[in-house]
A and B are shown apart, each in its own frame.
Chain A
């Protein structure tokens, strides 16, 4: 067994520097790497390029990094719930690359799996495809999209073991598995870290080969963005 455990979030984030490109898992606030984000805020590193489907809300998730102006460029599919984000974008302080959600997922997965680029029909004929190579397959036009290149990927799983194997829960899975192994170093934080052998190999979503560092996170807030319920 190749051990991937690190002592804590400080050790997990060793080597992060100004100007790096970071991938961060999560959809909305669901499945975001809360501990790693808090540590990035503490380290106060700047000029980051962040690849993440969303940009958090004003006071949580990536919104915390935006608030401290640590992000130079944001690559996302939807950034609707964040007033500070909108202010920085409209004032030109923040560079924003909006990417169709499926394309964003495919560009992460391509990086993970060694594909330099992929063709997708999404965005053809729109401003997203401007300046990009296009090609016809079976009578339909497609856009060439390159795999992402990132220095760190920060992901959050439900359970993990010391070998770096990961299991996700519910819709908190989202982009997290696709970012594992898609960056030079993948840091996985988990709600529950167990000994090798305690997870059923049949149930593993991401094998440890895609993970360089794993630690058990603390104090998960798991904030709900839109609490919708029905009465009994």
Chain B
């Protein structure tokens, strides 16, 4: 059975390792924080200027001066720090952040990503996404395998304006875990009960299948 959004987040949380500084995008990536093992030390960075971001505040304790990049009220954990936007993107551009998890509208088989603009329809801006994808070396995309019209979001080439070129390393969807390789989308794991054929049908780009593909362990 295909995963729900929490299932995708839960699988991605397995990629988070001890000692990682992690930047989480808006949407499914935000949920990843809920599933990270509690026996490892991880710090979450939000690009508006906090490292050591904690959970939402208790009712009545919210502070307008303490928000995340999604403009949601948050808390700061012991050991947290605040900084300006240039220093924040210095952490990102300088490759001090170990893992970036973000959503996408399309990913191509060479690792291009499109997630900021649908010409004539949605023009909200790229925020920090272009900076993140241009510099991060470990980028996981969290998204649904197909769009609302049922069309694949894993393509030979992106049709939407790009956010970054050749940058995505891994994709986790409701159907599969996929690595971006020189040969195309390499299938690593299947969601429980989902067949290789199901994944192939939902993938427009080249799907590389080598040997038996294990099911995800969640």
Contacts and interface: CB of A to CB of B under 8 A. Distances in A.
Interface of A: 27-31, 53, 76-81, 86, 89-90, 96, 98, 100-106, 108-109, 120-128, 158, 168-178, 205, 222-232
Interface in B81-106: 82-86, 88-89, 92-93
Nearest to A113: B86
B47 to A, nearest CB: 7
B214 interface: no
Contact of B66 (A29, A79, A100, A170): A170
Given A78-B127, A121-B134, A172-B64, A227 B162 contact: no
B89 A102 contact: yes
A172 B65 contact: yes
A125 B67 contact: no
Interface of B: 46-50, 55-68, 70-74, 76, 82-86, 88-89, 92-93, 112, 123-131, 134-135, 161-165
A127 B161 contact: yes
Contacts of B58: 229-232
Contacts of A128: 126, 130
B125 A230 contact: no
Given A77-B128, A89-B123, A224-B62, 18 more contacts: A29-B64, A30-B48, A30-B65, A31-B65, A76-B125, A101-B89, A101-B127, A102-B93, A102-B131, A104-B85, A106-B86, A121-B93, A122-B130, A168-B82, A176-B84, A224-B64, A227-B72, A232-B59
Chain A CB count within 10 A is highest, among B49, B57, B85, B129, for B85
Contacts of A126: 130, 161-165
B65 A169 contact: yes
Contact of B62 (A80, A89, A176, A227): A227
A231 B55 CA distance: 11
A2 B31 CA distance: 50
Given A101-B131, A122-B130, A178-B85, A171 B123 contact: no
A76 B162 CA distance: 18
Contact of A173 (B82, B112, B123): B82
B86 A105 contact: yes
A29 B73 CA distance: 12
Contact of A27 (B67, B83, B89, B165): B67
Contacts of B86: 102, 105-106, 108-109, 178
A107 to B, nearest CB: 10
Contacts of A172: 64-65
Contact of B126 (A78, A86, A109, A121): A78
Contacts of A90: 123
A225 B123 CA distance: 20
Contact of B48 (A103, A174, A178): A174
Interface-central residue, A77, A230, A231, by most chain B CB under 10 Å: A77
Contacts of A96: 123
Nearest to B85: A105
Contacts of B123: 79, 86, 89-90, 96, 98
From B62, B65, B70, residue with most partner A Cβ within 10 Å = B65
Q: Which 10 A-B pairs have the closest CB atoms?
A: A102-B89, A102-B131, A125-B165, A80-B124, A170-B65, A222-B64, A100-B130, A78-B125, A105-B85, A28-B71
